Chain A
Amino acid sequence: MAENDRAVRNDIVAGVDVGGTFTDLILLDASEGGGVRLAKTPTTVDNQAFGVVAALEATGHPVADIDLIVHGTTTTTNAVLERRLARTGMVTTRGFRDVIELGRRTRPQAYGMTGSFTPVIPRNLRLEVGERVLASGEVHTPLDEGELRAALRTLLDQGCESLVIHFLHAYANPAHELRAVEIAREMWPNAYITAGHQLLSEAREFERGVTAAVNASVQPILERYVERLRAELQGRGYARDFLIMNGNGGMISARHVTRESAKTVMSGPASGVIAAAYTGRRAGFPDLVTYDMGGTSTDVALIRHAEPAVSNETEIEYAMPIHVPMVAVHTVGAGGGSIARVDASGLIQVGPESAGARPGPICYGRGGTEPTITDANLVLGRLSPRKLLAVDNPVTVEAVTKIFSEKIGARTGLDGVAAAGAVLRLGNIKMAGAIRMVSVSRGHDPRDFSLFAFGGAGPLHATSLARELGLPRVLVPARPGITNALGCVVADLRHDFVNTLNHPLATVDEAYLAEVLHRHRSAGLALIEQEAVRPQTVRYLHSADMQFVGQTHILNVPLVSPEVSRAELQRLFEEAYFARFKVSLPEIRANLVNLNTSVIGTRPPVDLSRLLDPAARAPTLAGALDERRPVWFAGVWHDTPIYRREKLPLGALIEGPAILEQMDATTVLEPGDRARSDTDGNIVIEVGPGEGATRNNFSIGGIA
C-alpha cells in the first residue's frame, strides 16, 4: 500500500482556491528543510482546471511529487448563480410541480413591488405523477409506476441529463422516492439522479426541492470539471486522488464529491473560515469574527472555541435555499467597490451600489468614474498608488481627490481629502452595523472576540471596524490574500449528520437519543475510512437543536457526549437560551428538534510559521521600514512609517499610526493601536481608543 503510505505521510500538500479573479495556491512541504511556495494566477473562467494547473506549475515544484492536492472550487456556485446548469428534469407528486417556482411567497426587498425569479428547473421539465404519502408516512395513493415511466421517457426525449424525484413527505416515508429512483436507474443513461430526501430529510418541500434540484443540475457540471482536472493532473504525473472542499469546511474525495454536489456550494468562503479557526487556535484566540472584504461584498462568520458556526439554512441568493450543513458565512453587500454619493437630502451615503470589478474603483483606471471606498483609501494615503494591483491605466491621486471634491465635497462643504475621510468613516460605520447584525448582536459579548481580517481589503479597515464593534483585538494572518487556499491545506475530513425528532423533551427516550448519536458516529467513521487520506485522529461534535414548545426558531446546544440525560438537556438549553436572549421562561416546556453530529477526521498539524520566510526578517523594526508618507487619520495628516510586512522581526512591537504592506494586502494601524508579530507571522493588534478618544468608548456589552 505504497500509495496509502504516501497519502498518510502527506508531506507535500497543495491547497488551491479558485476565486472570482485569482486562483491562489499554497504549497507546504512538511518534510525536513521543506518550505512554503505560493502562487497567484488569473482564474480561467471557462475551465477552472487550466488556472489550477497554471498555479501548480507557477510554484516550480514538480506536480508529480505533490502528495496531496486539496481544492476549493466555485464551479457549482457560479453555475447556480448564473443558471448555467445541466438540463434537468423533475418528477413530483401530482399537484405539486410548481413548488420550486412558487417559493414561500416572498419578494426580494421589503420595499419596491418589483423583482424576478428564475426557477432552477423550468416548468416544462417538471412533470407530475400519481402518488401521495401523508405527513404520518402512511401511503395515501400508491405510486403509479406506468405514469412514472412515461414521465421519465418524456424527460429523456426532452434531452434531460439529470433527474430529480421530489415527492411530498418523503422525509417521513421515502418508499415512493426510492422505488421511483429504482425505476429511473433502469431507464436513465447516467447516475445523475437525486431523490428529494437524499440530501435533506426534513419537512419543507420548497427548501428540500430546491436543494435537490441544485444538486442534480450541478452534478454533471462538477463531474466534468473534476474529470478535466484529473486528466490535467494525470498528464503531469499526479495520478492520486485529490480532495475537494465542501461548504461545511471539510474535505471529501473527488471520487465521491459529485454524489452530493450541492454541498460544494460556498466551499471558497468556508475554507477561509476554516483557515481562520486554525490560525486563531494556534495564536491563542479561539473566538473570532472573521472579516473577508472583497471588491463587491464582505463575508463574515463567527467562530467560537475554534469551531466555525455551521448552519443548515443557507440561502445563496433570493429564494435559493440550500439546506445542507455549511459554514455559516454571512455576506454583507459592501466592499472596496461600494460607491459613495450625496443623496437628495445632502447626506453622504456609501453603497449599496458597487462599481464591481468592471469598471471598478476610479483608481484602477478601467473607466470607473464614481468614488468608492478603495478610492478613499488611496486619497488618504492608506493605499500606495505605486503598489495597486490590477491597474489598467494609472490615475493620479490628485485626479481621484478632485473627483471626491466634486462629487462629495461640493454639496457637503468638504475638500476632497475631508470628503474621502467622510466616505471612509461612514463606510466603516455602515459595514460595522451590518457585521454586528450577523455576529455579535446574536447574543454574544463583543469583548470576547477578536476580528480576524483577511482578503485583500480586510486588514485595511479592520482596526476601525473592531473599534466600532467593541472588539478589543484584530488578528491579521501572515498571508491575508491566500487565506482560502490555506483553508484547503489545514481542513479536516468532515461529515455532518442531522436527525429530526421534534418531540417535547419530556417524552424523549434517553437511550434512543444516545443510539441516534452513536449511529451518526459509526456512519461518519465508515465514510472517512473510504477516503484516500487517513486522518490522524477522529473527533466528534454533538449538538441538539432545541426550542420552547410553540416557537419556530431553534437554538443550537452543544453536547459533550452522546450519553445525555433529559435533565441535563433541559439545563443546557435554559442556560443557552438565557445567555442569548436574557430571558428565562420556566413556565414553558422545551422541545428537542434535531440531533446533530459532526464526525471530523483531523489531519496532521500544519506548521504556519513558514508562511513568511524567516530568512527575510530584518533584525530590527527599522530594518523593515520601507518609507514614510503622510496618511490621514481623524482629520489630520500624520507622517506615517510604512513597513514591509515580510521583513518585520519576530515579536516586533509597532505603535500606530503605521502601515504594513505586503504583496496582496495592506494593514492599517491607527494612532493608539499597538501591534506585535507572533511566531506564525500573524499581526496581533490591540485596538486603541482611536479617533474621538476624548469621547466615551463605544461599548456594546450586555446586549440581550
Chain B
Amino acid sequence: MSALDAITLSVIQAALQQTCDEMDLAFSRAAFSPVIAEANDRSDGIYSAVDGSLIAQGSQGLPVFVGVMQYSTKTIIEMIARGEVAAPEEGDVYIVNDPYLGGTHLMDVRFAMPVYRGGKIFCWLSNTGHWPDIGGSVPGGFSASATAVEQEGLRLPPVKLFKKRQLDPEIYAIIRSNIRIADQRIGDIRAQAAALYVGQERLFAILDRYGDDTVVAAIAELRRRAAEQMRANIALVPDGTYSARAYVDSDGVVDQPLTIALTVEKAGDTLTFDFSQSSPPCIGPMNSVLATTLSSVYLAMRHIFPDVPISAGAFEPLVVKRPEGTFLDARYPRPVSGCAAEVSQRIAEAVFAAMVQALPENVTAAPAGSSGNFALGGHDPARGRDFVMYQISGGGYGGGASGDGLTNGCSTIGISKSPPVEIMEQAYPVLYRHYALREGSGGAGKHRGGFGLAYEVELLRGEARASFVMDHGRFGPQGVLGGADGAVNEVTVFRSGVAHVPPHLSKEQDIPLKAGDRVRVGTPGGGGYGDPSERDPDLVRRDVAMGYYTPEQAEVLFGRSG
C-alpha cells in the first residue's frame, strides 16, 4: 500500500462522492417517471463487499434513503452466502423491494450490482428509485387502509433482473404483468441499471489511478474519520437525557393516535436513541420497518449536522436500540406503505424535538413534515379514459435560532418540487379554485413558523375517488422554547355542497366524488420558536400588512395588533 497521506485521503473522498453524484445525475436524467426524473425520488451509493455497509452516497439523493440501502445490500450478501439467492456474476443486477429485507415501502425498488476487480467482488453499487406504481389495491401504492402487505403490491425478493448485463425477459414479464402503466417502466429500469454502470466506470477510473489497495485503505480510514467527525459534533451536546414525543394521527384503520416516544441519551461520544415506549404495531399501513426507522434517525441528524459525509462511519456513534414490539419495527405481514412518506417524518420530528433541547442553535421547531399525498382516481368522459392524479404539497417549516420558518417547504424526507397547477389542469379533469398561502397557519414565536398551503380542487366532469395519506391533522407541528404549534392539517370534502371531514382527519380512502364536488386542503404551518411576545414588533406589523395574520390574530398570538 502506498502512503495514505491526508491529501490522498481527501482526494479519494471527493472522488467517491463525485461517483455517487454522477450516478444520481445519470439516473434522473435518463429516467422516465417524473417521480424520479423531476422529483429526484431516488438515491445511489457504494457499499462494502463484506457487509454492505455504506461507503459513500450521492449528495442529491432523496433524504429518506440516507443509509437505507446498506441494509438491503447486507441482506443480499447474507442471502447469497446462505444459498437463498443465486450467486452473482460480473454484470448481474439484482432487483429487490421487500420491505422486511432492509427496505422502505414496496414502491421503492432497489437495484444492486457487484463490482468485480481481479475476479472478486470489490464492492456493491446500489440505487433506489420510487416507481409510480407497483400493483396492489391502490394506484400509486399509497393505501390509507391496507391491513396486509399483499394488498400493497408486488413484493420482490432479491432476484437477478440483469444477467451479465442482459435484461432477463422472464422476470421482466412477471413485473410487467403486475403493475399499472407498465409500458413505460422499461425506461426507468434501463435508466436505473445504466446509472450503476456509470458508477462502475467511474469507480474503475479511481481504482486504476490510485491503486485498489490504496482505495481499500482509504475507505477504511474515511469510515473511521467520519465516525470521528460525528463524535466531534455529538460532543457539542451536553451530557444528559432528552425526551420527546411525536404522534401519527392514526394508522388509517383504527382511529387513535400512534405515539413515537423517544429518549435520547448522550453519554461519552455517542447518542443512544430509544423508541421502546412507542405504540405497538398497528393494523393499518402506518408501520415502519427497521431500515426505515434507522434511516429516519440518520436523515434527521444529517439535517442537524449537514457537514458530516453520509457513510457508515457517520452512523457509528448513533446507536438506535431496536424498537422491538413497536410499530417502528414492523414484521411480515404488517402493511407499511405509509412508512417512508409519513412515519419517517414523525420519527425525524421526534429527533428534532429531543435535540432542540440540547442544541437550540442548531435545530428548529417542527416542520410541517408531511408529503401531503392526495390521490384522485377516476374516469374522464371527455377523453374516454381513466386517470390517477397525485397532488403532493408542502407546508411551513419551523422557526429557528436564525429566523422565521420557510413557507411551503418540501417534506422533511424529500427534495422534490410539487407540480404546477396548470400542468395538473392540462392532464386531469379538475379545476383549482385557489392555491394560496394558508394565512394564520405559522406557529407564533419569537421566530414564527412558515405558512402552509391552502388549495381547493373541483372535479369538472365524470366521477372519481379521492384518497388522502397526510398527517398532523390531530396535533400541529410542535413549537419549541415557548413557541406555539403550527396549524393542523385540514381536509374537507364537499359532496353535493355538503361538507365531509374524514373521521381520521388526515387519512381516508376512496371517497366517491362526482362533477362539481370539491376537495379543500390546508397543510400544516411550522412550529414557532421562542416566546411570541419577544417577537420584533416591526415583524409583527409587517406580517399583518402582508395579510399573513389578521390584526386580531396578531393581538392574540403575539400580544400586538400590528
A429 & B11 in contact (Cβ 8 Å cutoff): yes
Partner of B302, one of A98, A111, A171, A698: A111
What separation, in Å, do the CA atoms of A433 and B37 have in the docked complex? 21
Task: Type the 1/0 row for A569-585, where 1 means its CB is closer than 8 Å to any CB of B.
Answer: 00000000000111101
B546 & A124 in contact (Cβ 8 Å cutoff): yes
A413 an interface residue at 8 Å Cβ cutoff?
Answer: yes
A700 & B403 in contact (Cβ 8 Å cutoff): no
B364 & A114 in contact (Cβ 8 Å cutoff): yes
B408 & A102 in contact (Cβ 8 Å cutoff): yes
Which of the listed residues A114, A344, A553, A585 has the most CB atoms from chain B within 10 Å of its own CB?
A114
What separation, in Å, do the CA atoms of A495 and B414 have in the docked complex? 39
Which chain B residues border A103 with CB–CB below 8 Å?
A: 408
Given contacts A102-B453, A111-B302, A702-B201, contact A348 B18 (CB under 8 A): no
Given contacts A110-B63, A345-B229, contact A104 B420 (CB under 8 A): yes
A699 an interface residue at 8 Å Cβ cutoff?
Answer: yes
Report B550 CB to chain A, min CB distance, Å: 14
A206 an interface residue at 8 Å Cβ cutoff?
Answer: yes
A110 & B415 in contact (Cβ 8 Å cutoff): yes
A627 an interface residue at 8 Å Cβ cutoff?
Answer: no
Partner of A203, one of B25, B190, B208, B420: B420
What separation, in Å, do the CA atoms of A114 and B10 have in the docked complex? 28
Of chain A, the residue at the smallest CB distance from B210 is: A695
B546 & A344 in contact (Cβ 8 Å cutoff): no
A422 & B183 in contact (Cβ 8 Å cutoff): no
Which chain A residues border B496 with CB–CB below 8 Å?
A: none
Q: How large is the interface on A (under 10, 10 to 19, 20 to 34, 35 or more residues)?
A: 35 or more
B153 an interface residue at 8 Å Cβ cutoff?
Answer: no
Which chain B residues border A116 with CB–CB below 8 Å?
A: 403-404, 406
Partner of B437, one of A123, A135, A168, A583: A123
Report A471 CB to chain B, min CB distance, Å: 15
A539 an interface residue at 8 Å Cβ cutoff?
Answer: no
A551 & B187 in contact (Cβ 8 Å cutoff): yes
Which chain A residues border B225 with CB–CB below 8 Å?
A: 345-347
Which chain A residues border B29 with CB–CB below 8 Å?
A: 442-443, 553, 580-581
B209 & A343 in contact (Cβ 8 Å cutoff): no
Report B437 CB to chain A, min CB distance, Å: 4
Given contacts A203-B426, A703-B198, contact A695 B208 (CB under 8 A): yes
Given contacts A422-B7, A704-B197, contact A169 B34 (CB under 8 A): no
What separation, in Å, do the CA atoms of A346 and B202 have in the docked complex? 26
Given contacts A113-B364, A587-B183, A700-B201, contact A422 B6 (CB under 8 A): yes
B545 & A124 in contact (Cβ 8 Å cutoff): yes
Which chain B residues border A206 with CB–CB below 8 Å?
A: 420
Partner of A347, one of B13, B417, B456: B13
What separation, in Å, do the CA atoms of A587 and B186 have in the docked complex? 9
B303 & A96 in contact (Cβ 8 Å cutoff): no
Of chain A, the residue at the smallest CB distance from B302 is: A111
Partner of B408, one of A105, A207, A585, A698: A105
Partner of A699, one of B205, B367, B420, B422: B205
Report B200 CB to chain A, min CB distance, Å: 11
Task: Type the 1/0 row for B375-408, where 1 means its CB is closer than 8 Å to any CB of A.
Answer: 0000000000000000011100110101110111
Which chain B residues border A429 with CB–CB below 8 Å?
A: 11, 14-15
A619 an interface residue at 8 Å Cβ cutoff?
Answer: no
Given contacts A95-B432, A101-B407, contact A551 B37 (CB under 8 A): yes
What separation, in Å, do the CA atoms of A350 and B269 have in the docked complex? 27
Which chain B residues border A436 with CB–CB below 8 Å?
A: 18, 22
Partner of A425, one of B11, B60, B436: B11
Which chain B residues border A171 with CB–CB below 8 Å?
A: 422
Task: Type the 1/0 row for A415-430, where 1 means its CB is closer than 8 Å to any CB of B.
Answer: 0000001100110011
B468 an interface residue at 8 Å Cβ cutoff?
Answer: no
Of chain B, the residue at the smallest CB distance from A438 is: B25
B420 & A441 in contact (Cβ 8 Å cutoff): no
B409 an interface residue at 8 Å Cβ cutoff?
Answer: yes
Given contacts A105-B453, A122-B546, A550-B184, contact A95 B434 (CB under 8 A): yes
Given contacts A101-B407, A104-B418, A704-B198, contact A94 B233 (CB under 8 A): no
Residues of A96-152 contacting chain B, CB below 8 A: 96-99, 101-107, 109-117, 122-124, 132, 134-135, 140
B184 & A588 in contact (Cβ 8 Å cutoff): yes
Report A298 CB to chain B, min CB distance, Å: 16
B398 & A585 in contact (Cβ 8 Å cutoff): no
B547 an interface residue at 8 Å Cβ cutoff?
Answer: yes
Given contacts A204-B423, A426-B11, contact A343 B307 (CB under 8 A): yes
What separation, in Å, do the CA atoms of A692 and B407 have in the docked complex? 50
A437 & B407 in contact (Cβ 8 Å cutoff): no
Which chain B residues border A135 with CB–CB below 8 Å?
A: 422, 425-426
B51 an interface residue at 8 Å Cβ cutoff?
Answer: no
Which chain B residues border A107 with CB–CB below 8 Å?
A: 397, 406, 409-410, 415
B187 & A105 in contact (Cβ 8 Å cutoff): no
Which chain B residues border A106 with CB–CB below 8 Å?
A: 394, 409-410, 415, 417
Partner of B21, one of A95, A96, A437: A437
B364 & A168 in contact (Cβ 8 Å cutoff): no
B431 & A140 in contact (Cβ 8 Å cutoff): yes
Given contacts A135-B422, A429-B15, contact A95 B435 (CB under 8 A): yes
A299 an interface residue at 8 Å Cβ cutoff?
Answer: no
Which chain A residues border B306 with CB–CB below 8 Å?
A: 109, 111-112
A234 an interface residue at 8 Å Cβ cutoff?
Answer: no
Report B458 CB to chain A, min CB distance, Å: 10
Partner of A414, one of B6, B415, B437: B6
Given contacts A429-B11, A695-B208, contact A550 B187 (CB under 8 A): yes
Of chain A, the residue at the smallest CB distance from B9 is: A347
A396 an interface residue at 8 Å Cβ cutoff?
Answer: no
Which chain B residues border A536 with CB–CB below 8 Å?
A: none
Report B480 CB to chain A, min CB distance, Å: 13
A238 an interface residue at 8 Å Cβ cutoff?
Answer: no
What separation, in Å, do the CA atoms of A113 and B306 have in the docked complex? 10
A433 & B303 in contact (Cβ 8 Å cutoff): no
B25 & A437 in contact (Cβ 8 Å cutoff): yes
A530 an interface residue at 8 Å Cβ cutoff?
Answer: no
Partner of A98, one of B38, B63, B423, B436: B436
B191 an interface residue at 8 Å Cβ cutoff?
Answer: yes
Report B153 CB to chain A, min CB distance, Å: 20
Report A551 CB to chain B, min CB distance, Å: 5
Of chain B, the residue at the smallest CB distance from A104 is: B417
Task: Type the 1/0 row for A323-347, where 1 means its CB is closer than 8 Å to any CB of B.
Answer: 0000000000000000000011111
Which of the listed residues B5, B7, B209 has the most CB atoms from chain A within 10 Å of its own CB?
B7
Report B109 CB to chain A, min CB distance, Å: 17
What separation, in Å, do the CA atoms of A373 and B183 have in the docked complex? 51
Residues of B162-185 contacting chain A, CB below 8 A: 181, 183-184
B407 & A102 in contact (Cβ 8 Å cutoff): yes
B418 & A412 in contact (Cβ 8 Å cutoff): no
Which of the listed residues A134, A580, A695, A704 has the most CB atoms from chain B within 10 Å of its own CB?
A704
A168 & B410 in contact (Cβ 8 Å cutoff): no
Report A467 CB to chain B, min CB distance, Å: 11
B87 an interface residue at 8 Å Cβ cutoff?
Answer: no
Pull 9 A–B residue pairs with CB atoms less than 8 Å apart, ordered by A: A96-B434, A105-B409, A106-B415, A110-B60, A112-B303, A116-B404, A344-B233, A437-B21, A552-B38
Since A349-B10, A426-B7 are in contact, a sample of 16 more A-B pairs with Cβ atoms closer than 8 Å, ordered by chain A residue number, is A101-B407, A102-B453, A105-B393, A124-B546, A169-B422, A203-B422, A205-B420, A346-B6, A433-B18, A436-B22, A443-B29, A581-B26, A588-B184, A702-B201, A703-B26, A704-B30
User: Which residues of B line the A interface, CB within 8 A?
Assistant: 5-7, 9-11, 13-15, 17-18, 21-22, 25-26, 29-30, 32-34, 37-38, 59-60, 63, 181, 183-184, 186-187, 190-191, 194, 197-198, 201-202, 205, 208-211, 222, 225-226, 228-229, 232-233, 302-303, 306-307, 352, 364, 367, 392-394, 397-398, 400, 402-404, 406-410, 412, 415, 417-418, 420-423, 425-426, 431-437, 453, 456, 545-548
The 6 closest A-B pairs by CB, nearest first: A105-B394, A95-B434, A344-B232, A345-B225, A345-B229, A104-B417
